[in-house]
Chains A and B, each alone.
Chain A
Amino acid sequence: MKVREFNIGMMRIYKIASKEIISVYRDKLSFSILLVLPIVIVGILGNVLRFELLDLDFAVLDRSNSVYSRSLIDELDKSKQFSFAGELVSENEILPAFVKGNMKFVIVVPDNLHRGGEIVVFLDGSDLVLSEAVSQTLFAIIGGGYNVGVRFKYNPELKSEWVPLPGLIMIALIIVSSIMLAMSVNRERERGTARMLLLTPASMGEILVGKALPYLLVSLLHGLTVFGVSLFMFGIGMNFGPAIGFFLLTFLFSLNSMVLGLFIASVVKSELELLIGCWLFVFIPNVFFSGFIYPLQSMSSFIIPVARYMPGTLFIEAYKGLMFRETSVGDSSFYLVVLLLQALVLFLVTIYLFKRNFFRK
């Protein structure tokens, strides 16, 4: 008896899933966007968001006109990060150089350099991330040269292609699995077709699982395409071992953000509210607090405990472990388990909420 009931339940889920597939597939434009979205995000933005410095313009106000200052400027100009863009004559020109001349920093060399004068570097505080990077790089070029053995693990050539990848894959997966699934659920509720689902013998859990199944398949497919893009474009994931871990991670993370999307869908009603809600409570926090833009260690101390358990953070940490450091799945098991637990708990809450208000308009 139990087996038969289970089979019937499976059948219902299958029917709802196939209905969902048809309704997505028939809108050709949406369907193609759904398919190419991760390739576009990872392929295009992976080449853009490198967070490195290239050919920044700087100006010099050289009072000393000494050999040292000229060689310093030459050295900076030759480096690939900076390019010399103009000489200033007086101090009054420093401010306009930033506002009108689009300089990123200005170096002032005093005339008493050899008698204890100091080189002053003016940075642009309206772009602090940039100016921080400038001061660090400048320090490295002007100073540096210590007798230290340095070794970079995992990425010995310091390829900047690596930097944006985990975050971008996370973004692509979040969009497909949370926003798109939640949209399709709330669309039924807003248009009233959810009332027709009421007439079917399927239970709430079966309806939700059935609707989620196609999107889970799409997410897994995206795992495959994203893996291919990062392999052929950026040369990551050559070995077979990490690939299995990566797909496990993709599966769990998609599951997690699907449930998160459903949860938001259960709280709001219309599609517009859902879109803003998803952006506001799923997408943006995961972009800012996951270590994608700023590392976890640079956050305010009281937000770090929250940020550590954000799904995005868990994904990025696990991805770095699996694909960059190429450690075993066991080392990342903590992140995977937390992702799964979050999904389970939230799923129960969502079912409870939906049971109360799914058919209410």
Chain B
Amino acid sequence: MKLLIATIFKEFLQLVRNRVLLFLVSACPIILLGVIPLSFDGSTRFRAGVCDMDGSYESQKMLGELSNSRLFESVFYFGSMWEAEREMDRGSLDLIVCFAPGGVQIVLDGTFPRRALSSLYSTEKILFLSDDVPVVFQTLFNAGRRYNHFSLISLIVLVITLIGTALVTLNLVKERESGLEEQLRATTINRFVYFSGKFIFFVLLCLFEIILCLLFCKLVYGLENQGSFAGYLIVNMVFLFPLLGIGFVIASYSNTQLRAVYILTIVLILLIMLSSMFTHLSSMPQWAAATRFVNPVYYGIESSRMVIFKGASALDIAPLLGWMLLLGLFLNSLAFFRFRKA
């Protein structure tokens, strides 16, 4: 027990004495959570070009509606369709509305289909002022539709994923590369203590990061936790189990830091992009959606969202937690047995 505490304390000292690293570790969540939510403020705006060849009363009225609408970032006027399409070729217009004598014609930039479709519907809605469809939309959970709240949860998981795996992997490989591990082998510290000492230290560090993140979200964005705080911490502790496991496995397979970084980069990019952080499972092909069973980042995001937004209890997300534990058990024991051999 004394040995375990000593190894944890060693890691702690190593981190604290490295100023730059300490700065990066504590500033990373603040920078990410402070800046990245600015990338999406919830409203979608388009750049429209208008070409009025009709000049009638109706077209003037519609034109007025268009330029008054807050949907458009800017509305440009063109004398002819040719000029407008030339401008679209340069990439500065999302859609062109043309009032021809025969009727309205809309030309859209189709490179991003969903954006094109949504701009089409919104424009039609404005042009024809239609409210005859009796549909009302209501949002449950996160009822204010606060966009930054939504992205904050996945950002916290992103922070933990990056910091956790990078620290664990490079810490282990660095000790091996610099010969420190060789020296530790000559002490009374055995594999198990060495391994679990590191594990406990990084779990504590990541939990500290999570609390820092949550505090930041609470103070700056007023994020409200629908579930219990303790529940969120427990979920994240379970999440850290497979996540750090990935770091350990990568470390056990790489002899130099360079190689560790190569493997880490490709693994992390795949895990993050295949999780539901940027897209959602239903839009993926079957085989890609199936990778979620071995993707801890997916579990982390899903369970955090469940707890924070939907106030789910531990029972509701028991399957997720169970999978995470299984995955963590597998990864960590794989790393542990490979370490023994080394």
A and B: real partners?
Answer: yes
By a beta-carbon cutoff of 8 Å, the part of chain A in contact with chain B is 27, 29-30, 33-34, 37, 40-41, 44-45, 47-56, 94-95, 98-100, 104, 113, 116-133, 135-140, 142-144, 146-156, 158-160, 162-163, 171, 175, 179-180, 183-184, 187, 268-273, 275-277, 279-280, 284-285, 288-289, 293-295, 297-300, 302-303, 307, 317, 320-321, 324-325, 327, 331
Known contacts being A51-B114, A51-B283, A294-B39, is A123 close to B139, with CB within 8 Å?
A: yes
Cβ contact within 8 Å between A162 and B174: no
Known contacts being A49-B279, A55-B282, A150-B108, is A175 close to B265, with CB within 8 Å?
A: yes
If over half of B's interface residues share one DSSP class (helix, strand or loop), that class is named, otherwise mixed; here it is: helix
Complex Cα spacing A145 to B47, Å: 23
A-B contact list, 5 entries, CB within 8 Å:
A27-B256, A99-B316, A122-B139, A126-B308, A183-B258
Closest Cβ of chain B to A345, distance in Å, is 22
By a beta-carbon cutoff of 8 Å, the part of chain B in contact with chain A is 18, 20-21, 24-25, 28, 31-32, 35-36, 38-47, 73, 85, 88-91, 94, 103-118, 120-122, 124-125, 127-128, 130, 133-143, 145, 147, 150, 153, 158, 162-163, 166-167, 170-171, 174, 256-259, 261-266, 269-270, 273-274, 276, 278-280, 282-285, 288, 305-306, 308-310, 312, 316
Complex Cα spacing A184 to B130, Å: 61
Partner pick for A126 among B137, B150, B171, CB 8 A cutoff: B150
Closest Cβ of chain B to A119, distance in Å, is 5
Partner pick for B273 among A48, A94, A155, CB 8 A cutoff: A48
Q: For A297, what are the chain B residues with a Cβ–Cβ distance below 8 Å?
A: 44-47, 73, 94
Complex Cα spacing A356 to B199, Å: 38
Partner pick for B103 among A122, A130, A149, A293, CB 8 A cutoff: A149
Total residue contacts A-B, CB cutoff 8 A: 309
Closest A residue to B27 using CB positions = A280
Partner pick for B266 among A40, A47, A142, CB 8 A cutoff: A40
Complex Cα spacing A123 to B143, Å: 9
Known contacts being A30-B258, A153-B110, A297-B73, is A123 close to B137, with CB within 8 Å?
A: yes
Cβ contact within 8 Å between A37 and B266: yes
Complex Cα spacing A125 to B22, Å: 36
Cβ contact within 8 Å between A125 and B166: no
Q: For B273, what are the chain A residues with a Cβ–Cβ distance below 8 Å?
A: 45, 48-49
Q: For B158, what are the chain A residues with a Cβ–Cβ distance below 8 Å?
A: 284
Q: For A269, what are the chain B residues with a Cβ–Cβ distance below 8 Å?
A: 20
Closest Cβ of chain B to A84, distance in Å, is 14
Closest Cβ of chain A to B39, distance in Å, is 4
Closest A residue to B100 using CB positions = A149
Cβ contact within 8 Å between A122 and B116: no
Complex Cα spacing A303 to B256, Å: 39
Cβ contact within 8 Å between A295 and B115: yes
Closest Cβ of chain A to B284, distance in Å, is 5
Cβ contact within 8 Å between B110 and A156: yes
Closest Cβ of chain A to B30, distance in Å, is 11
Complex Cα spacing A33 to B105, Å: 50
Cβ contact within 8 Å between A53 and B174: no
Known contacts being A154-B109, A271-B261, A276-B162, is A148 close to B39, with CB within 8 Å?
A: no
Cβ contact within 8 Å between B113 and A163: yes
Known contacts being A30-B259, A139-B135, A146-B128, is A151 close to B285, with CB within 8 Å?
A: no
Nearest first, the 5 A-B pairs at minimum CB distance are: A125-B142, A155-B110, A152-B110, A126-B309, A158-B113
Closest Cβ of chain A to B305, distance in Å, is 5
Closest Cβ of chain B to A108, distance in Å, is 9
Cβ contact within 8 Å between A155 and B111: yes
Q: For B162, what are the chain A residues with a Cβ–Cβ distance below 8 Å?
A: 276, 279-280
Cβ contact within 8 Å between B140 and A125: yes
Cβ contact within 8 Å between B262 and A180: yes
Q: For A155, what are the chain B residues with a Cβ–Cβ distance below 8 Å?
A: 110-111, 113, 116
Closest Cβ of chain A to B240, distance in Å, is 18
Complex Cα spacing A351 to B36, Å: 30
Known contacts being A49-B278, A272-B166, A293-B39, is A136 close to B45, with CB within 8 Å?
A: no
Cβ contact within 8 Å between A125 and B113: no
Cβ contact within 8 Å between B139 and A131: yes
Cβ contact within 8 Å between B113 and A126: no
Complex Cα spacing A82 to B156, Å: 30
Cβ contact within 8 Å between B141 and A324: no
Q: For B309, what are the chain A residues with a Cβ–Cβ distance below 8 Å?
A: 125-126
Q: For B263, what are the chain A residues with a Cβ–Cβ distance below 8 Å?
A: 29, 33
